[in-house]
Amino acid sequence: MSINLQIKSFEEYKEKYAKSVADPEGFWSEIAEDFLWQKKWDSVLEWNFDEPKIEWFKGAKLNITENALDRHLAERGDKLALIWEPNDPKEQFVRYTYRELYERVCQFSNALKTKGIKKGDRVCIYMPMVPELTIAVLACARIGAIHSVIFAGFSATAVSDRVNDAQAKMIITADGLNRGAKQIPLKRVIDEALATCSSIESVIVYDCLGWDISMTENRDYWWHDVVKDEAKICSAEVMDAEDMLFILYTSGSTGKPKGVVHTCGGYMVYTAYTFQNVFQYQESDIYWCTADIGWITGHSYIVYGPLISGATTVMFEGIPTYPDAGRFWQIIDKHGVNQFLTAPTAIRSLMAYGEDHVLSYSLDSLKMLSSVGEPINEEAWKWYYLHVGKERCPVADSWWQTETGGIMISGIGNLSPMKPTFAGYPMPGIQPVLLDQEGNEITAANVEGYLCIKAPWPSIIRTTYGDHERCRINYFSHYKGYYFTGDGAKRDENGMYRIIGRIDDVINVSGHRFGTAEIENAINTNKNVIESAVVGYPHPVKGQSIYAFVVLDKVTEDALMTKGEIVESVVAEIGKIAIPEKIQFVTGLPKTRSGKIMRRILRKVAEGDVSNLGDTSTLLDPAVVEEIVANALI
């Protein structure tokens, strides 16, 4: 495969876009021709959004790893597939050519098979950002096992929830991980999680830190032991285009995180297509996305999209501020990175250190910049464009979601016009609409509405694991005939979209997604708590932060200690990433007479905007609001 799915001009984008809307099947089948299929499809697309039932490339057979590895061997066998940069700059980086990566993946695939893993089994992966994480993901895909990567910051309870929901047979983990100056245990978390997971038969442990850890006999195996006698070739399992490729858990506005399911064929086509277009990757470029593979961005734009396209992808173990706030820029110069993708929260945190760090590096290799995960404010956009891109590099703000599998609305390399804070244009094949509250499409220019998508694209969510009805209710029942994103957006006179943020009870903290109910449930596990309500509020670095209003069963004698215990409950249930920045004890929550919490009021209090709280007369107890306002933590 060559990198030949690229649009070359904005005019061509407009033509392709028009074709993709007029004839989606013709458009996508032409693109799909560029991939390696063991058998071509019987039909390109069959769908309805009512059940929902969405099938792309039905009847086709493939293995995504043959596209990401095998077919590059002839022409790109010696090309670098992966560059791994360690947490500590003094440590040696690691590079794998496509042939080396292929061999490692095959070897580990054989090890998985020896341990009894077969097609359709679920394998959870809870690992540091080391090459073995990419190898584990690809090895699962090669043998048809369904991977479920769990971000290595989640707690034992969060891990066991995910393992149990997926009824996973195996966990792949490490002794611990490096994160800046800290080392964080992982296997200990797994041991705790496994106390409540009966489906797990074996654990493979990668030796990342050289720690002496406890290993349970006949359950736990070292990575280096399981691979040592395995062959470096392994035939790829034949997968149906609609067979599950992976599950990735993400938070919604209700209940526990749900397992978003992506399938093999459509996900492959869409991630490669968008990778090649958004980043305008050229054959000898070095591409770097700073996300963690624990999230969808890492799946689609560190592993699958780049490797399917034959690109060189960089993987970084550490954090932007270790050993100093110049670490990202140093890595760009060190490896000659051409395309760079990061999150607004990282840009804002580095901005806070001033320009000196970024100005000490040349950054000459950069050709384009991109941002993902949350709205990018104008100040951060300008800093990124000016100091990192030196006004030479376009900034593509890409909007998408775990459920969409790939980038939906974005700038396209240096082809499309840029406008700070606007994500840009829909990718070919994506038909966004803005709806009003009644579900009518708003077609005028310069309008705001609920962002929905009118027709399926190849990497759309297929189901939520084990509970299809949940998928229907969450995404396809709000407005009949549309995929509901949960985001609000604005469209300007040129058809560019600006994402305003979530309109449901989802909070986005440093690009990490949480449901308010999920955090409230965690807080409520504390024995002193009667109930709680959580809202997001703007934060200068994290984008949003968490504010918790908590009702205790009796007045606390030591507020600080009780807050500490509540924080511990959140850490135990979810992980440190979900700790509320502010906790306010209240004697009651503002509720309607039917018992519904009026979050609108709490959001205003958290934002520090208490001048106009709107009509509070419908509340069960309006006096509660006065007390909350008087004691607000602003």
375 lies in the binding site for ligand PRX (CB under 6 A): yes
| Token pair 């073995």 in the structure block, residue | 132
401 lies in the binding site for ligand PRX (CB under 6 A): yes
Q: Which DSSP category does 424 fall into?
A: B
Q: Which is nearer to ligand PRX, 296 or 314 (by Cβ)?
A: 296
Torsion, CA 517, CA 520, CA 526, CA 527, rounded to 10:
-80
Q: Which is nearer to ligand PRX, 487 or 520 (by Cβ)?
A: 487
The correct pick among 176, 305, 373, 515 for binding ligand PRX (CB under 6 A) is 373
Applying CB under 6 A, which part among 182-190, 371-379, 576-584, 591-599 lies near ligand PRX? 371-379
Q: Which is nearer to ligand PRX, 28 or 381 (by Cβ)?
A: 381
Q: Which is nearer to ligand PRX, 49 or 249 (by Cβ)?
A: 249
DSSP assignment of 508-536 equals EETTEEEEHHHHHHHHHTSTTEEEEEEEE
SS3 336: coil
Please give the structure tokens belonging to residue 443: 């077609």
Q: Of the candidates 41, 82, 319, 77, which has an alpha carbon nearest to the alpha carbon of residue 180?
A: 319
Q: Which is nearer to ligand PRX, 27 or 422 (by Cβ)?
A: 422
**Adjacent-strand bridge partners of 257:** none
The correct pick among 327, 462, 502, 604 for binding ligand PRX (CB under 6 A) is 502
Q: How far is the CB of 295 from ligand PRX (least distance, A)?
A: 6
Applying CB under 6 A, which part among 79-87, 127-135, 311-319, 500-508 lies near ligand PRX? 500-508
| Token pair 């983990």 in the structure block, residue | 173
372 lies in the binding site for ligand PRX (CB under 6 A): yes
Q: How far is the CB of 180 from ligand PRX (least distance, A)?
A: 23
Cα 522 → chain centroid: 22
Number of residues that bind ligand PRX (CB under 6 A): 23
DSSP assignment of 468-491 equals HHHHIIIIISSSTTSEEEEEEEEE
Q: How far is the CB of 259 from ligand PRX (least distance, A)?
A: 13
Q: Collect all residues with Cβ–Cβ distance below 8 Å to 90 and sequence separation of at least 6.
A: none
Task: Find the binding residues for ligand PRX in span 407-436 (CB under 6 A).
Answer: 423
Q: Which is nearer to ligand PRX, 475 or 585 (by Cβ)?
A: 475
Site string for ligand PRX, 278-317 (x = CB under 6 A): -----------------xxx--------------------
Q: What is d(CA 74, CA 68) in angstroms, rounded to the nearest whole number?
A: 13
Task: Find the binding residues for ligand PRX in span 505-544 (CB under 6 A).
Answer: 508, 513
Q: Is 553 exposed, middle or buried (0-12, 13-18, 19+ CB in 10 A)?
A: exposed
The correct pick among 155, 402, 516, 584 for binding ligand PRX (CB under 6 A) is 402
Applying CB under 6 A, which part among 355-363, 397-405, 428-436, 467-475 lies near ligand PRX? 397-405
Please give the structure tokens belonging to residue 630: 């008087």
Applying CB under 6 A, which part among 151-159, 203-211, 349-357, 494-502 lies near ligand PRX? 494-502
Q: What is d(CA 108, CA 224) in angstroms, rounded to the nearest whole number?
A: 10
400 lies in the binding site for ligand PRX (CB under 6 A): yes
Q: Of the candidates 99, 172, 165, which has an alpha carbon nearest to the alpha carbon of residue 132?
A: 172
Applying CB under 6 A, which part among 190-198, 281-289, 320-328, 391-399 lies near ligand PRX? 391-399
Q: Tell me which amino acid residue 99 is.
A: R
Q: How far is the CB of 406 from ligand PRX (least distance, A)?
A: 9
Q: Which is nearer to ligand PRX, 52 or 373 (by Cβ)?
A: 373
Integer-rounded Cα Rg, in Å, for the chain is 24
The correct pick among 374, 505, 518, 520 for binding ligand PRX (CB under 6 A) is 374
Distances (CA, A) of 308 to 289, 300, 397: 15, 10, 22
Q: Collect all residues with Cβ–Cβ distance below 8 Å to 258 and sequence separation of at least 6.
A: 249, 250, 252, 464, 465, 467, 470, 471, 474
The correct pick among 220, 285, 397, 573 for binding ligand PRX (CB under 6 A) is 397
Q: How far is the CB of 603 from ligand PRX (least distance, A)?
A: 16
Q: How far is the CB of 274 from ligand PRX (least distance, A)?
A: 11
Q: What is d(CA 6, CA 8) in angstroms, rounded to the nearest whole number?
A: 6
Q: Which is nearer to ligand PRX, 428 or 486 (by Cβ)?
A: 486
3-state secondary structure 80-144: EEEEEECCCCCCCCEEEEHHHHHHHHHHHHHHHHHCCCCCCCEEEEECCCCHHHHHHHHHHHHHC
Q: How far is the CB of 398 from ligand PRX (least distance, A)?
A: 5
SS3 455: coil
The correct pick among 276, 277, 345, 398 for binding ligand PRX (CB under 6 A) is 398
399 lies in the binding site for ligand PRX (CB under 6 A): yes
Distances (CA, A) of 244 to 96, 140, 270: 28, 11, 15
Please give the structure tokens belonging to residue 441: 């499409």
Task: Find the binding residues for ligand PRX in span 245-274 (CB under 6 A).
Answer: 250
Q: Which is nearer to ligand PRX, 24 or 515 (by Cβ)?
A: 515
486 lies in the binding site for ligand PRX (CB under 6 A): yes
Q: How far is the CB of 97 from ligand PRX (least distance, A)?
A: 29
Applying CB under 6 A, which part among 150-158, 481-489, 607-615, 618-626 lies near ligand PRX? 481-489
Q: Kindly list the residues in this chain that would bind ligand PRX in the complex (CB under 6 A).
A: 250, 295-297, 372-375, 397-402, 423, 485-487, 499, 501-502, 508, 513
